Amino acid sequence: MSLALDRPEFAPPPQRGTGRALVLALIAHGLLIAALTWGVRWRSDADEGAVDAELWSSTVQQAAPRLQAPVAPAPVPAPPPPAPAPPPRPPVAKAPEPAPAPKAPDIALEREKKLKEQKEQQERELERQQQQQQKKKELEARQRAEEEAQRKKEQQQKLAEQKKQQEAEAKQAEQKKAEAAAKQAAADRAATLKRMQGLAGASGADDSKGTAQRSSGPSSGYAGRIAAAVRPNITFPDADTVNGNPAAEFEVSLAPDGTIVGVKLSKSSGLPGWDDAAERGLRKTDKLPRDTDGRIFPSLIVTLRPKR
């Protein structure tokens, strides 16, 4: 038994319409051949009655156009007769247009319109209130700023017045202190002069007084000891060129241990260079020696000369 008979389901399906398609194809080819044959024959029949002739001449002339059979013009159709005008129509009275019926009021639209207007009015009122509140806040902020600026200005003025008053009080206190120091220096100078006068002695009835003052004042060699202590600290290279030997007197204030606490020029020598050099030497010495009995005087008049 063959495989095709055993399994017919795998065989291709039979083709249908093959004969019909073949007949239609033959008919279409026949029609095409007939149409071509008729077209070729029609052309050959039209060319059989035509005769061509060629004429030659010594002069060139333009050939006359080929004769053609006259063509009869087509008949022009006669225009149709005009149609009679229609009789005029009688005028028709126009009926009056009916008046529009009044519209019934729409309650919902009116209510919505009123609600919209109320809402807009409320919004405008709210906006106006917000603007007023904003203006009020700005005004309050401006007032606070002005008050703060005025307070700072008053505070600064008060501080300036206090500072000025403190400076005036400090100046007065310094002036009083300077006056007290001047009074003390004058008293010390007077006492020193008095002691020095006692050292120098007095004539007549004042001899006993001078002796008492001499016994209470510095010893006779104390001035030399002071000059010897101060002179190494004085730098004055022009001493040899000075005319004479002018003296510069200084009021010197001493601490209980002999430390120099104040130096003041009481009498100039006439040579500013020597005065400055002698004062620098005194300040550089810093401490004066004690007297022979070990005493330290609170105030002394120290005389210094450029030449020994």
- Domain range summary for the chain, segments of one domain joined by +: 219-304
If one compares 106 and 151, the residue with the highest pLDDT of the two is 151
Model pLDDT for residues 49-104, shown as the tens digit of each residue = 555 555 555 555 555 555 555 555 555 556 656 665 666 665 555 555 655 554 54
User: What residue ranges in the chain does DSSP mark as E strands?
Assistant: 248-254, 260-267, 299-304
Weakest-pLDDT range from 38-47, 169-178, 250-259: 38-47
**Phi-psi group of 280: left, alpha or beta (phi > 0 → left; psi -120 to 50 → alpha; rest → beta):** alpha
Q: Higher model confidence: residue 208 or residue 188?
A: 188
Residue 132: the pLDDT is 92
**Out of 82-96, 119-133, 149-163, least confident range:** 82-96
Whether 44 shows a pLDDT value over 90: the answer reads no
Whole-number pLDDT of residue 308:
74
Which residues touch 130 (CB under 8 Å, ≥6 apart)? none
- pTM passes above 0.85: no
CA distance 113 to 119: 10
pLDDT of residue 147: 92
More confident residue, 133 or 40: 133
Mean pLDDT of 263-284: 90
Residue 133 CA to residue 127 CA, distance in Å, equals 10
CATH fold label, 219-304? 3.30.1150
Q: How confident is the model at residue 276 (pLDDT cuts 50, 70, 90)?
A: very high
Calpha distance 234→283 (Å, rounded): 10
C-alpha Rg value of the chain to the nearest Å: 77
Residue 215's pLDDT is what? 47
How many H-runs (helices) and E-runs (strands) does the chain carry? Answer: 6, 3
Q: Is the dihedral of CA 296, 299, 301, 302 positive or negative?
A: positive
First-residue to last-residue Cα distance in the chain: 170
Q: CA-based diameter of the chain, in Å?
A: 202
Does residue 124 carry a pLDDT above 70?
yes
Tell me the sheet residues that pair with 303: 249
Model pLDDT for residues 290-308, shown as the tens digit of each residue: 888 888 888 888 888 888 7
Q: Average pLDDT, stretch 285-289?
A: 85
Instruction: Tell me what the pLDDT averaged over the chain comes to.
Output: 75
> What amino acid is encoded at 179 in this protein?
E
* Calpha distance 265→249 (Å, rounded): 6
Nearest 5°: CA angle at 237, between 232 and 241?
A: 125
Query: Which has the minimum average pLDDT: 5-9, 112-116, 173-177, 198-202?
Result: 198-202
Residue 250 backbone dihedrals phi, psi, to 5 degrees: -125, 140
Task: Classify burial at 14, counting beta carbons within 10 Å of its beta carbon; exposed 0-12, middle 13-18, buried 19 or more.
Answer: exposed
pLDDT at res. 226: 87
Q: Which helix (H) or strand (E) holds 184?
A: helix 107-200
Check residue 239 and report its DSSP letter: G
Nearest-angstrom CA–CA distance, 76 and 245: 169
201 pLDDT band (50/70/90 cuts)? very low
258 contacts 296 by C-beta, under 8 angstroms: yes
Q: Write the pLDDT tens digit of every residue in 228-243.
A: 888 888 888 888 888 8
